[in-house]
A and B are shown apart, each in its own frame.
Chain A
Amino acid sequence: MNKVEIFDPAMCCSTGVCGPSVDPELTRVASAVYSLEKKGFNITRYQLTNDPDKFAKNKEIHRILMEKGPDALPVVLVNDQVVKVGSYPANEEFAEWFEVKAEELNEKPKSGLSINLNQL
């Protein structure tokens, strides 16, 4: 089975909702990754500020960061080989790597725990 790793940029507000521009691309990728994880595929995302160690210890990623700076992110590795620099895979690419249908990748994530003030 293929192993896919996505190395995301630092993403506080710079690309997200409270940022200057919203990128629906991110929601698409999140849904695709979620669907694949649920199906048991080997796919992982690392985020620069949350998992800096992963970026530092991976020689390829470290080299790209040293040469091209933060704008090179996201970087995608398939079986430790760099396949994408500066953009996320399309759903078709995910489908090809894991041999699934692209349409299966739109599943909406579900959530669990909550604190409910009124019940406390």
Chain B
Amino acid sequence: MYPSFSPNHVQTQFLFLTGKGGVGKTSTACATAVALADSGKKVLLISTDPASNLQDVFGIELTSIPRAVPTVANLYVSNIDPEASAKAYRESVIGPYRDIFPEVVVATMEEQLSGACTVEIAAFDEFTGFLTNREIGNLYDHIIFDTAPTGHTLRLLQLPMAWNGFLEESTHGASCLGPLSGLVDKKELYSSAVAALSDLTKTTLILVTRPDVSAILEADRASKELKEIGIKNQMLIINGLLQHYNEEDEVSSAFYHRQRDALKQIPETLKETTMYSLPYVSYSLTGVENLRNLFKLYDEVPTTDVYMENQSMNLPGLKEVINDFSGNQTKLIFTMGKGGVGKTTVASAIAVGLVEKGHRVHLTTTDPAAHLDYQFQSDHLNQNLTISSINPKVEVEKYKAEVLAKSSENLDEAGFAYLKEDLESPCTEEIAVFQAFAEVVAKSENEIVVIDTAPTGHTLLLLDASESYSKEIERSTGNVPESAKKLLPQIRNPKETAVAIVTLAEATPVLEASRLQDDLRRASINPQWWVINQSLSATNTNDHILKGKAMAEKEWIQEVKDNKAEKCAIIPWLYEEKVGYDKLKDYIK
């Protein structure tokens, strides 16, 4: 049904991989690079993997300057870190003024340059060098990037407003491109980079997904968005597809069937793309030999490791988390994490657990309403539990309409288009959602509020800044809503508010969760709990392949326990989907 992906399918010089965090973009890129190099092609692999485990994969120190890999002829690797580039850029601007301005002034400058957009633009800036430099282009048959620019970045660069210097006049005071001044000098360069991206004969976009509904939907979204902007040469790789299962093992067969069910939900639009698959493998893709094995389609490799008995890490379950919240009389609970780690389920289970302990609870989620109804099969609701949902799309549209109405009268068509694109920024959604749940919290009385999302540190610092800003400037007509203002001090108070970070026991999800935590700490919020969800090592599977994976989880569980989390809990991979109030109680048994 899904032919195996093979490097022979690669026809173009440039190859970009895109997909949700944790789907295996970097591993797929590495394996493809090694295979192409083995077939005699000269290959440059450019990774943006900030975990820099590429250094372990290839056994050499990596920098942004391409280096030859000693164990693979014809393969060169370069590692760039957009976060570091953005940081370096930030420091180059601010550094000279640290001693000249008071600390508070420097802090406002830093925050201006700390948004997600600065990092995105910095990454694009790095790619540009490789895409447009003829000398580099002539050296290699293939240049593989393990990530791709987002539609938001590409659309911004296409807009006329980005280029005419009008930016500096602060049309509407803010811009995603604003933080990178000096952009204008690069118009030619960026323009040819964008041209190379949309040339079918030069660039292939590989959408990477897992056989998992949320990852598939994300791939579909990225596919549509990038197609619209002209990147039409696309293919889809379903990574980690379990090839067969062990009928006697409950976990193994449930795992297999859940994957197959997810594949049935591939949207029609995405089905038009050429689809390939790569097998679920028990080994970690961290050595050149294992990378080679991936395309030989071995799902297991002979190993000398003796499977250690599943020694427990002595981590508590979700029950302990709920007891903690209940005992501390926490009023406001956020579950936070990247998409697909199970924030909503964990939030729902926490809500149910607290109701079972006799509390009145309001659960609000940003998941589509249909899913919430499904989760609770609403007729079985306990009277102490109320639920509501916030639809981010609706909130964002509401917010955008408000902004455009307020600001558009002074703008011409181009200015208006620019303003609209700025509103596509990830920050916009965060702010809009924050305002919506501030409303929910303001309305609640004598109940615990559980929310399946949390604001980022950037959002909180901005809200903080704008609050003091509007206090100072009476003339300012932009206002932070009353409910949002009230929520700010409450969120900062650890006696009232708790944040639980939800993650999976894998490299990328742990790294992403750790970034979320750092970002929140910037805004002086300390997540109390980390919840490791869907852990295979917490199950009793005897299936060889899954057991291999369970072993690989240990490193990350240890990392979370020792270096990341204040307190840490673990939830096993459950072979039955927990739907409905009574089933959710299973999480707290």
Contacts and interface: CB of A to CB of B under 8 A. Distances in A.
Interface string B97-136: 1001110110111011111000000000000000000000
Given A9-B108, A88-B475, A52 B166 contact: no
A114 B159 contact: yes
A69 interface: yes
B326 to A, nearest CB: 33
B427 A13 contact: yes
A18 B178 contact: no
Given A10-B111, A109-B166, A24 B477 contact: yes
A78 interface: no
A12 B115 contact: yes
Given A12-B179, A109-B415, A49 B422 contact: no
A82 interface: no
Contact of A14 (B112, B423, B474, B484): B112
A92 B478 CA distance: 21
B105 A19 contact: no
Contacts of A34: 169
Give chain A's interface residue range (CB within 8 Å of chain B).
Answer: 35 or more
B407 A50 contact: no
Contacts of A66: 101-102
B472 interface: yes
A26 B144 CA distance: 43
Given A27-B410, A45-B170, A56-B100, A12 B158 contact: no
B176 A50 contact: no
Interface string A14-47: 1111111111111110110110000000000101
A27 B172 contact: yes
Contacts of B472: 71-72, 86
Contacts of A30: 169-173, 410
Interface in B70-121: 93-94, 96-97, 100-102, 104-105, 107-109, 111-115
Interface string A60-73: 00100110011110
Given A14-B112, A15-B469, A108 B411 contact: yes
Contacts of B436: none
Nearest to A110: B412
Contacts, number: 230
Interface string B452-483: 00000011001101101111111111111000
Contacts of B254: none
A87 interface: yes
Contacts of B187: 113, 115
Contact of A113 (B163, B423, B428, B478): B163
A37 B535 CA distance: 62
Counting contact residues on chain B (CB < 8 A from A), the size range is: 35 or more
B195 interface: yes
Contacts of A1: none
B428 A115 contact: no
B139 interface: no
Contacts of B381: none
A115 B190 contact: yes
Given A12-B111, A108-B415, A115 B102 contact: no
A94 interface: no
B169 A56 contact: no
Given A18-B423, A22-B406, A22-B407, A47 B93 contact: no
Contacts of B230: 117-118
B389 interface: no
Contact of A115 (B157, B412, B434, B470): B157
Contacts of B96: 52
A56 B526 CA distance: 35
27 contacts: A10-B111, A11-B174, A12-B111, A12-B114, A13-B174, A14-B111, A14-B112, A15-B469, A17-B407, A19-B174, A20-B431, A20-B480, A21-B480, A26-B170, A26-B173, A45-B170, A52-B96, A56-B97, A62-B100, A65-B102, A71-B471, A72-B472, A86-B472, A111-B414, A114-B163, A115-B157, A115-B187
Q: Lowest 3 A-B CB distances belong to which pairs?
A: A16-B174, A23-B478, A114-B160
Given A20-B459, A22-B172, 17 more contacts: A9-B469, A10-B109, A12-B462, A14-B462, A17-B172, A19-B431, A19-B466, A20-B431, A22-B403, A30-B410, A55-B101, A86-B472, A109-B412, A111-B160, A111-B164, A111-B415, A113-B160
Interface of B: 93-94, 96-97, 100-102, 104-105, 107-109, 111-115, 157-161, 163-164, 166, 168-176, 178-179, 181, 187, 190-191, 194-195, 198, 229-230, 402-403, 406-407, 409-412, 414-415, 419, 422-423, 425, 427-428, 431, 434-435, 458-459, 462-463, 465-466, 468-480, 484
